[in-house]
Structure 1
Amino acid sequence: MIYFTADTHFGDPRVLRLDRRPFANMVEHDAELIRNWNDAVGPEDEVWHLGDVMSARAGDCSELLSKLNGRKHLIVGNNDAEMTTGSPGWESVQHYVELRLGGYHLILCHYAFRTWNQMGKKSINLHGHSHGRLKPLPRQFDVGVDAQGLRPVTLDVILSRKPVVIARHDLLEE
């Protein structure tokens, strides 16, 4: 399976206040996000993390990544320091990716776009950064933990939560 997530902000106490995450402290926060991740993601699954993984002051990113199931890809966010982007725990690190999954053309970036490649051909923009506060455009989804129940989610879950059903036959040809 392939999962998407963003804005975990491990070790960053600002999220407790700014995003009103329901934890008394960062130890509880980080433990719950790790538990949620590993409950959803298996060791052989793939995860695309769309940025803002952890605070630069939170410790060793390699140690954190070793606690998380799956093969992990990073789309760099504005809060991802060199100690995060340079960690050997990533399968890949980039700022932007386009990929095809289950008949869909996905545009992955930390930031939401106003327009994106092949938008007129029904491509889908997955992003983080807005912490569930940005009104999306059609075929645009915030995969950040604040918008997705504090856990990584599959594309099927993301699309099922949207009131407008996107039919696969309406999408880009393979």
Structure 2
Amino acid sequence: MTVWFTSDLHLGHARLLELSEARGAAFASIDEHDARLVANWNETVAPEDTVWVLGDVDMHGKDASLARISTLAGTKILVAGNHDACWAGMRDGWRKRDRYLAAGFAAVMDFGVAKLPPVRQGGSATRVLLSHFPYAGDSHDEDRYSQFRLRDEGVTLLHGHAHDAFREGRTPKGTWGINVGVDWWDYRPVSAERLAEHLEDLRHERVAPVAGDSDR
């Protein structure tokens, strides 16, 4: 069994193709966009795998986009984002969680904790926090939703929300955050093993951060 992470699918969000130059160039229509993301997911994830979706699966829980969740392989866990109708920051968002469970998510939560596997034999697993929001940084010019962001206590954070603004960032405390959004991982989920290796490379400066640190 493999554990995967992803974020910001934005299924059914036609305007995203206007807002995102990269997605607008990659997809001619939102139907093509959604079909490709579903196909990529099912090429990548096996039925026995688990996928953490770190928010913004679609735009506000529309029936047509939520109907696609049951077609996605694996056990799916949603950490809600600001565009999910079940997000805690949405008025009566808690009332919508049953809709997401019925659509095919095994659980819906606000934050999570997981472990990335050891990079080498005999090594230790890495504890990571899971949130839709990074410690700092945004897809917009200013950081939004500060009251919903986790406090940096030195624990690596996996997140979404930033879209193609940056792939990773390091806080003033030196804590790494990695954006698992589809924009950075070939429009498909990324495995815990790959993220563990990527984090190791960042820590040892074997790979250059994309878009720089997010300590702003």
TM range (shorter): 0.7 to 0.9
AA partner of residue 133 (structure 2): Y
Quick one: higher RCO (CA 8 Å, sep 6+), 1 or 2? 1
Given candidates 69, 72, 82, the residue that maps to 2:76 is 72
| TM-score (norm: length of structure 2) | 0.68
Paired residue secondary structure (1:98)? strand
Larger radius of gyration: 2
Aligned-pair distance for 1:161?
4.1
Give the length in aligned residue pairs.
163
Q: Distance in 2 between matches of 1:28 and 1:18?
A: 16
Aligned to 2:28: 24
Given candidates 130, 143, 158, the residue that maps to 1:126 is 158
1:146-157 equivalence runs, <5 A: 146-157=183-194
Q: Report if aligned partners of 1:19, 1:146 keep a CA contact under 8 Å in 2.
A: no
Q: Report if aligned partners of 1:99, 1:105 keep a CA contact under 8 Å in 2.
A: yes
Cα RMSD (Å): 2.2
AA partner of residue 3 (structure 1): W
Does 2:169 match 1:136? yes
Q: Report if aligned partners of 1:54, 1:84 keep a CA contact under 8 Å in 2.
A: no
Unaligned stretches of 5+ in structure 2? 87-94, 118-124, 137-149, 205-216
AA partner of residue 125 (structure 1): L
Aligned-pair distance for 1:28?
0.4
* Consecutive aligned runs of 4 or more in structure 1 exceeding 4 Å deviation: 114-118
Unaligned stretches of 5+ in structure 1? 167-174
Range with greater deviation from structure 2 (24-33 or 100-109): 100-109
Q: Report if aligned partners of 1:97, 1:108 keep a CA contact under 8 Å in 2.
A: yes
Cα distance change, pair 14–93 in 1 and its aligned pair in 2 (3 A): same
Aligned-pair distance for 1:49?
0.1
